[in-house]
Amino acid sequence: MGETALLELDNVTKRFGSHIAVDRLTMSVHQGEIVALLGRTGAGKSTVMGLLMGSIGCDEGGVRVAGKDPSRDFQALRGKMSVSFQTDRLLPWRTALENVELGMQILDFPKDQIRPKAREWLRRVNLHGAEDKYVHELSGGMRQRVSLARALAVDPELLLLDESFSQLDHVTSQVLRRDFAQIVREYHKTCVFVTHRIDDALEMADRIFVLAAPASVRLELRLSAADRADPARMTQIHDQIAAAIGGPDE
């Protein structure tokens, strides 16, 4: 896609009744980027994700994913994006393996490919050996891994993650984030993820947006490998983000 944005929000406003959830938000994401959305509770992060995945239509402005309007051109985007949420949304009557198969089944992948691919993705997220366990037999971290494996197995261009790492303890979440970021880069996926933890964003993202409430860009910054290698710089960036997320008055 080169210079064109895979994902674009152009001056987007979204209201729920009289409540403005998104206020003239403009942002774009390029192919292969990992982008983090940060912001206080109620800032409109999940609403932005809903706009991107097409489950919510905007009132003003335009939303484009791969040149299509996700709330209208549903068919054209079928299989191109995958989502994973804070609650893992796994089916309790299916095993880990069968849950990973689900997305591929919905998208009518060839039957003989589904099982091997599901096995491969469970292995890829370090769940080898847990294939036949039911959801209640898995820890929270394992469930998130299954959810991510399911999202990745359909080979989407774009991954949208809303607080996927948030409910896990710090160590589990850190390992999972690292594994996930590595996979996303290795397979050249594009990923937008919502988190309330600055460290998640600092660790994974190429670019970070801090959203004000209602959602508009309060701060946008880019993280380079040089930044990551410089602890003093990272502390500075951390503080800058913390300040943008908020003090009581701005």
Closest distance of CB 194 from Mg ion, Å:
6
43 binds, among Mg ion, ligand ATP, none (CB under 5 to 8 A by kind): ligand ATP
164 binds, among Mg ion, ligand ATP, none (CB under 5 to 8 A by kind): none
**Distance, CA of 220 to CA of 207 (rounded, Å):** 7
* Residue whose CB is less far from ligand ATP, 51 or 149: 51
41 binds, among Mg ion, ligand ATP, none (CB under 5 to 8 A by kind): ligand ATP
**Distance, CA of 173 to CA of 156 (rounded, Å):** 23
* Residue whose CB is less far from ligand ATP, 19 or 136: 19
Q: How far is CA 240 from CA 26, 66, 246, in A?
A: 21, 32, 10
Closest distance of CB 42 from ligand ATP, Å:
4
* Residue whose CB is less far from Mg ion, 21 or 153: 21
136 binds, among ligand ATP, Mg ion, none (CB under 5 to 8 A by kind): none
End-to-end CA distance of the chain: 37
* Residue whose CB is less far from Mg ion, 44 or 101: 44
44 binds, among Mg ion, ligand ATP, none (CB under 5 to 8 A by kind): ligand ATP
Question: Is the bond into 214 cis (omega within 30 degrees of 0)?
Answer: yes
Closest distance of CB 45 from Mg ion, Å:
5
**Distance, CA of 158 to CA of 147 (rounded, Å):** 15
Longest dimension (CA), the chain: 58
How much of the chain is in helix, strand and coil states, percent to nearest 5?
40, 25, 35
What are the E-state strand segments in 169-222? 190-194, 207-212, 216-222
Closest distance of CB 121 from Mg ion, Å:
26
* Residue whose CB is less far from Mg ion, 46 or 164: 46
Strands 81-85 and 19-30: unpaired
Residues interacting with ligand ATP, by CB under 6 A? 16, 19, 21, 39, 41-47, 196
Point out the residue whose Cβ comes nearest to Mg ion.
46
**Distance, CA of 28 to CA of 95 (rounded, Å):** 37
* Residue whose CB is less far from ligand ATP, 44 or 141: 44
141 binds, among ligand ATP, Mg ion, none (CB under 5 to 8 A by kind): none
**Distance, CA of 54 to CA of 198 (rounded, Å):** 27
Residues interacting with Mg ion, by CB under 5 A? 45-46
Closest distance of CB 188 from Mg ion, Å:
27
